Structure 1
Amino acid sequence: MTDAQLIEKFRGGEERAFNVLVWRWEANLFNFVLRYLGDREAAKEACQKTFIRAFRKLDRLRDTSKFGTWLFSIAINICRDQLKAHKRRRTLSLEGLRENGNGVENQMEMVAEPAQGPDAQVMNRDVRHLLNRALQALPEEQRAVIVMKAYHDLKFTEIAEILDMSENTVKSRMYYGLATLRKIFKQWNVSKESVRYEV
């Protein structure tokens, strides 16, 4: 059953249909919010608030085929509110960001390279920890774009809709966010054996 069909059932008075939507989206939403906020308890709170708000406002959703996009836009607003309320926003001051002339479509995508050998699990956990730390060092607007694109494989058009901005602005934030991540890992002396960069 599609999201749109479940929403129609919910609107028809079958509240259990919303439980199915929660079950379908909660893991994806939690992973996004966790990377956005960088704190497990704050992420749980944000997810709960997101689903409560979605439950209350679901009758207002016009295009029911875009439930996921709508849900993420609610989550973004709640995350922003939480960051402001708890003054948890952290940025890393970096100098010398230089453009290399390539468009965002040709920019590298950073992914964790599975480690080989007996210490593989420890190394992979360490790489994930470093990636999460680096994401938290990004400005909020860049972090949101990178998390949605790299971890959730959303299209630039979808991200633009969620964040209510132009597609070019989204691509620009992706470009500068990736440049900042490269700089951070260079400063941390993270080897290419631990993190692979694809151009």
Structure 2
Amino acid sequence: MQTQQEHCRDVHAKDLPDAALAQQATSGDKQAFELLVRRYQVPLFNFIYRLMGDSEESSDLLQEVFLRFYTSLPSLHANKPFKPWLFQVAHNCCIDALRQRRKHIVPFSQIETEGDDDDLSLLDAIPDDALSIEDMIAHHDLQKALQEAIYTLPIKFRAVVTLRYTSNLRFSDIGRILNMPEQTAKTYFNRAKVLLRKSLSADILALR
């Protein structure tokens, strides 16, 4: 049976910031590691699922992420932001899995210089007179349609949108996770919103 002292310690540990728990985990504290796992298993699964589109595969990849987290503990830097690092691990796992599906994945180092002008001119031609993406997300009836639309986005856009909406990350953190400048992450996000508006236009009209 848990003592009062142990209970108070557990409550205190749950309130600790990520950096403190990560530091304790690197020192061999299993409870700190387990708390971080519980804290991030849902947002990480949501992120992975929106990239992969398969719940069983997403569960397997989630375990892979936590395994990489555990094996990285000895080399984890205390001054490195934990949440962006963990989502970067998840993103890398997803990219590895997508490559194994033999799908063509454009390296993020090339995204900044290849095809941007053509993509921009194409997206600029799409009218922007629909509801905002924020309004779409707030509307319960469009939740499923929005998730499906996000999955149809190119992987470079899908990752940015997912990190922004489901993980509430800043663009500076998103850029760090995806190895791209902050401004590039913002650009992809805005282009993705245009594509989502187009994809969901029929659903929007049905609500009017």
TM-score interval, smaller chain: 0.7 to 0.9
Distance 1:62 1:194 in 2: 49
- Residue matched to 2:158: 143
Classify 1:99/1:154 alpha carbon distance in 2 versus 1 (closer, same or farther; 3 Å): farther
Count of aligned pairs between the two proteins: 176
Deviations 1:76-100 (A, max 9, x none): 000111111124679xxx9942268
- Residue matched to 2:22: 7
Task: Name whichever structure is richer in strand by fraction.
Answer: 1
- Residue matched to 1:121: none
Task: Name whichever structure is richer in helix by fraction.
Answer: 2
Higher RCO, Cα 8 Å, sep 6+: 1
| Aligned counterpart for 2:144 among listed residues 101, 106, 129 | 129
Gaps of 5+ in 2: 1-15, 106-118
CA contact (8 A) 2:150 2:196 kept: yes
Seq. identity, %: 29
- Residue matched to 1:112: 137
CA contact (8 A) 1:46 1:79 kept: yes
Aligned CA RMSD, in angstroms, stands at 2.8
- Residue matched to 1:97: 123
Superposition map of 1:74-93 within 5 A: 74-87=89-102
Letter of the aligned partner of 2:164 in structure 1?
A: K
Superposition map of 1:1-199 within 5 A: 1-64=16-79, 66-87=81-102, 96-98=122-124, 108-110=132-134, 111-114=136-139, 124=141, 127-186=142-201, 189-192=202-205, 194=207
Say which SS state the counterpart of residue 153 (structure 1) adopts: coil
Bigger Rg, which one: 2
TM-score calculated relative to the size of structure 1: 0.77
TM-score calculated relative to the size of structure 2: 0.74
Classify 1:57/1:128 alpha carbon distance in 2 versus 1 (closer, same or farther; 3 Å): same
